[in-house]
Amino acid sequence: MCHQKQLVPAMGNLSMFPPEIIFNVLDEILGSSPRLTHESFHAINQLMRTNKTLEQYIKLGWMGGNVLNSFKQGVNAVQWYPNIDNAKTALTLQGEDPEHPMPIAGPHGVGPDLITSIIFDDCIDCFECFSGVLPGTHMSCCNEGGWSFLSLALYAKSEKLLDLFFLLGFPREPKNFITGSANAMGTGPSILGMSASSRDHQSFAKLFKKLKSVLNGHGFQKTLRDNLTPKERSAIRSVAPPYLQKLLYEVGLVTMHPALRYSPYYSGKRTLMY
């Protein structure tokens, strides 16, 4: 959920004050945190929605002015990459260890950066602020640690942003994206595996169908088996509705026919045995 920080009502009509005072207030909102937080970003974003004059002050004077402030410095410091290949190249040049990628929740003791927090909080409003500079297929962009935006949304179960990412479409090479590591350094679960382990059967079904379409029968079953661990298979089977159970049965990932599994005869613990 988005942070609903109650700053705007308490401030009253800020547009009555000179721009310098408004800008000082905005800097105070940001505080002294070394990283721009989603909470602060969201508060300022919501503040702009309260008054058109205030919105122009903030956008043109504070955000668009020549003088650096903590907001612009914080936004400019957000590191992201347009795709996994760019992220891998940059992180390799930075000396990142492929065997020890940055945790998906951010560096230890620091936590997630702004764009990661926005995705974790499933905040469409704040994400749209970044959309203007992002490539068309947002799902394959990566955060500072090389984790794709789709993997972040799967990890946090961010339903609104997951819907947005799938609506915007897959990257140019969907097979590699779906079956490859969710982290640019090649370590960690696949995107398909993450959707399974998160028990998000809707996202899993979309990835499953896209992969099936791309492969067009050429090694589809083997690809699924090679890219889903036993634990991931078990996780998605435990939540798969009948239509997905049927798809899994057809590729050999479920041994009991769905018609039998959902019959009155098999009700209870036996339906979970494979």
The pLDDT of residue 274 = 34
CB-based contact 221:251 (threshold 8 Å): yes
Evaluate if residue 12 carries a pLDDT over 70. Answer: no
The residues spanned by each domain of the chain are 8-76, 79-188, 199-274
Here the tokens at position 54 are 């205030």
Question: pLDDT by residue (tens digit) across 42-81?
Answer: 888 887 777 777 777 676 656 665 655 566 667 767 889 9
Question: pLDDT by residue (tens digit) across 183-240?
Answer: 999 988 999 999 999 999 999 999 999 999 999 878 999 999 999 999 999 999 999 9
Which of 93, 199, 185, 192 is closest to 142 using CA atoms?
A: 185
Here the tokens at position 159 are 């339903």
